[in-house]
Amino acid sequence: MTDSVSLCRVIASRKLPEIRAVALLLGMILAVASANSWAAVFVVTNINAPGAGFNDTTAVAAVTGNPATTLGAQRMAVFQAAADSWGALLQSPVNIVVAAQMTSLSCSSNSAILGSAGAASIFRDFPNAPLANTWYPVALANALASFDNDPGKADINANFNQDIGKQNCLTSRPWSYVIGVPAPASTISFFDTVVHEIGHGLGVFSLVSTSTGQLFNNQSDSYTQHLLDETPTSTLWTALNNAGRAASAIDTGNLTWNGGSVNAVASLLTAGRHGSSNRVRMYAPNPLVSGSSVSHFDTALTPNEIMEPSLNSVTRRRLANHLMLDLGWRARVNLSVSNSDDFVELPAGSVTSYTITVQNNSAADLTVINLGVLNTLPAALQGVSWSCAGQAGGSCSASDGLGNINTQVAIPQAGSVVFTVNAVLNATFTGTLNNTVNLVLPANLQNQNPATLTATDSTNIISAADPAGFSISPISGDTTEGGVTATFSVVLDTQPSSNVSLGLSSSDTTEGTVAPSALLFTNGNWNVPQLVTVTGQDDFVDDGNIAYSIITASAVSSDPNYQGLNPADVAITNLDDDTAGIEVSAASGNTSETGSTTTFTIELDSEPTADVSISLSSSSEDEGLVSPTIVSFTPTTWFEARLVTITGQDDVLKDGDVAYSIITAPVVSLDANYSGLDPADLNLINIDEDSELIFKDGFDSP
């Protein structure tokens, strides 16, 4: 048995572009002038007959992320969620209509066609087409032209096998209809399958005949434009003749993707790049695999990608998302920038520092490359220097510089870059000082909220002769029991006549500690903010978030203006990272009637305040026995995992593979956080025999 299954896709039909009146086209373009800000909306049209496929009324139990209680509705919920996951990435002012159905496709006990999908029509030379004499799938053509090239008709046709998991049709590997979580073991993810096939409908396909190398209608397409053969010299498919393209389609390891967006993130792969060029390899097995060759990433990719020809248990969509940009799609991102010097008010002549943070909060796994960062600094800031550092995969094209910031960065999903700007305030400047940072997006990206692409920090600059005092910046955040720190800074408002010492302490050192324990300001450094770091302290008990304070003592100084001044304490919260819970690991395998065993572990997530006991039993002792039948934890041994063994049981019947469960009873404990918790049961199969799954693609380009 294998963890991967082959996928297929089809181009349901192809349609030559229509000639339309220029006046009509202009009217359509004017009607959608603001289209660039629109997210792609997928409209899934159910074309199944009553009672079949997506209309199947069979009652089913709700599953993770999918509350539907009929089989058809559950299938449709997954299909819409998969389509919407593409909609979260792509832009289109025209709805993308998908005609969806489930029917009985070729199937046996150990092989099946899962489904197929493809563009319903193709167009070329429409308004805003990036390349002349080049075919584009209708959904992409509509998005680029900003009107519907084929109104009233579906853009993608999709059909999936409704018999998967039934008798004589991969009985031991049914569809999984979960949403938002990986499909359980021994099931086939309907979500991932639909995502893959819609990807083909959006443009991940070549119209070139893989067997003859012939271009469709003697013209290239948006996908084929980026195919490149690396031997004997790097040559694009558009520059090869028919024989060269046919040979390249079986040139294993040497057919690659040549697109700027995919190339920019190719280094994320640990395997699957060409040895010389480092471009991402495309699927070119020898012999040719009808319906799969060329129009997928290579199976050598690590980590696995969703647009490989085989559906793997764990896949990513980063390369697929970037490939869409190479095809010509525009994408939606969710970027933000913040800019702060941490002060509401500063005296003229002070040394100041701005922190500029650019974050990629996008829902889709997309690295934003060539993102411009502009910070034209006001004249009141002098002697400016800056540095840039990436976090969580972010990177800077320049690590430091002087004066204004005008540079580019690259930021993956959930990553960021941080600029630190150091400057001196003009000694004669007073009033409001505004410092604005702007982000400049590449042309193929649109931010969900344009307002988050700019950030302005405003600081009131006062005369240095103002009264003595302390300026304490807002704290950067809360601490956590995981050791996350928080910072704030302290600076004097005026130059003292002698040294000023300020003591610092924590109101609860079991929740947080402070460093340093004292700050010393002199005539020379009085206007330089001094950083204070607060470090969260850990325990293992689920005791909630605890508030505490950093206590600022009365100042000690020979300067009478500062002696005895007591700035306000700084309030902070230590966030608890302990949550009462029970982790039940996956089993090391299934049992079998030969008496083989499997194991799993049970662990507590946090330290209990009293003993914890969990009873275990088998839902079918004819299939498997569990040992021990009770696992216990104490406050001193809670962190030790408990090993549980299940032994397969034999019978004399040829009853096939039988599913059963190890039932975990609710917790018995005097700890209120643990009492009554009901760990997840463990689902197993007692195996008679294995079978091999082979999935066949069903498409061959013309």
State pLDDT tens for residues 24-62. Answer: 222 222 223 233 457 899 999 999 999 999 999 999 999
In percent, how much of the chain has pLDDT > 90? 78
Q: How far apart are CA 213 and CA 293, in angstroms?
A: 12
Contact present, 294 and 200 (Cβ < 8 Å): no
Determine the Cα angle at 266 with ends 260 and 267, to 5°.
130
Instruction: List the end-to-end C-alpha distance of the chain, in Å, as a whole number.
Output: 33
What letter would DSSP give residue 404? S
Can you tell me whether residue 526 is helix, strand or coil? coil
Q: 530 has which bridge partners?
A: 490
Nearest Cα to 303, choosing from 329, 275, 271, 339? 271
Judged against a pLDDT cut of 70, whether residue 678 lies above it is answered with yes
User: Over the chain, what is the mean pLDDT?
Assistant: 89
pTM exceeds 0.85: no
Query: Alpha-carbon distance 265 to 280, whole Å?
Result: 9
Q: How confident is the model at residue 465 (pLDDT cuts 50, 70, 90)?
A: low
71-87 vs 190-201: helix crossing angle, rounded to 10: 50
Residue 23 clears pLDDT 80, i.e. is over it: no
Q: For residue 273, what is the DSSP state?
A: B
Q: In this predicted structure, what is the pLDDT of residue 384?
A: 97
Contact indicator for 398, 373 with CB cutoff of 8 Å: no
Q: What is the pLDDT of residue 691?
A: 43
Whether the predicted pLDDT of 275 surpasses 80: yes
Residue 157: pLDDT band by 50, 70, 90 thresholds? very high
Residue 321 sits at φ, ψ, to 5 deg, of -65, -45
pLDDT at residue 18 above 80? Answer: no
Nearest one of 654, 656, 588, 651 to 622, comparing CA atoms: 651
Task: Please enumerate in sequence order all residues whose Cβ is within 8 A of that of 625, keeping only pairs 6 or more positions apart, or say none.
Answer: 618, 646, 647, 649
pLDDT of res. 179:
97
Q: Residue 140 — left, alpha, or beta (φ > 0 → left; ψ -120 to 50 → alpha)?
A: alpha
Handedness of CA 76, 78, 81, 83 (dihedral sign): negative
Name the residue type at position 680. Answer: A
Residue 401 bridge partners (DSSP) = 386
Chain position carrying tokens 């500063």 = 346
Phi, psi of 143, deg, nearest 5: -65, -40
**Is 81 strand, coil or helix?**
helix
pLDDT 10s digits, 405-460:
999 999 999 999 999 999 999 989 999 999 999 999 999 999 989 999 999 999 99
- Give kind and range of the element (H or E) at residue 161: strand 156-161
The yes-or-no verdict on residue 398 having pLDDT over 50 is yes
Contact assessment for residue 563 and residue 556, using Cβ atoms and an 8 Å cutoff: yes
The lowest-confidence range among 30-39, 159-168, 304-313, 670-679 is 30-39
Sorting pLDDT into bands at 50, 70 and 90, what band is 551?
Answer: very high
Q: Give the start-end residues of each E strand in 364-521.
A: 368-375, 381-391, 395-396, 400-402, 405-411, 416-425, 431-440, 445-447, 454-462, 470-472, 479-480, 485-492, 500-506, 512-515, 518-521
Residue 254 has φ and ψ, to the nearest 5°, of: -115, 0
3-state secondary structure of 306: coil
Residue 678 structure tokens: 């009901």
Cα–Cα distance measured from residue 454 to residue 420, given in angstroms and rounded to the nearest whole number: 17
Lowest-confidence pick of 36-45, 56-65, 177-186, 384-393: 36-45
Tokens for 205, please give them: 């396909």
Residue 389's pLDDT band (boundaries 50, 70, 90)? Answer: very high
Phi, psi (degrees; rounded to nearest 5) at 365: -80, 85
pLDDT of the residue at 272: 97
Q: Per-residue confidence at 466, pLDDT binned at 50, 70, 90?
A: low
Query: Which residues, including other chains, have CB under 8 Å from residue 310's CB and lie 6 or more apart?
Result: 4, 5, 6, 7, 299, 695
Q: Can you tell me the distance from the alpha carbon of 381 to that of 395, in angstroms, rounded to the nearest whole number?
A: 26
Question: Can you say whether residue 544 is alpha, beta or left, with left for phi > 0 and alpha for psi between -120 and 50 degrees?
Answer: left
Amino acid at 243: A
Q: What is the pLDDT of residues 476-515, one digit of tens each?
A: 999 998 889 999 999 998 888 789 999 999 999 999 999 9
Q: For residue range 212-240, list pLDDT tens digits in order.
A: 999 999 999 999 999 999 999 999 999 99
Question: CA–CA separation, 11 vs 402, rounded Å?
Answer: 55
Higher pLDDT, 543 or 6: 543
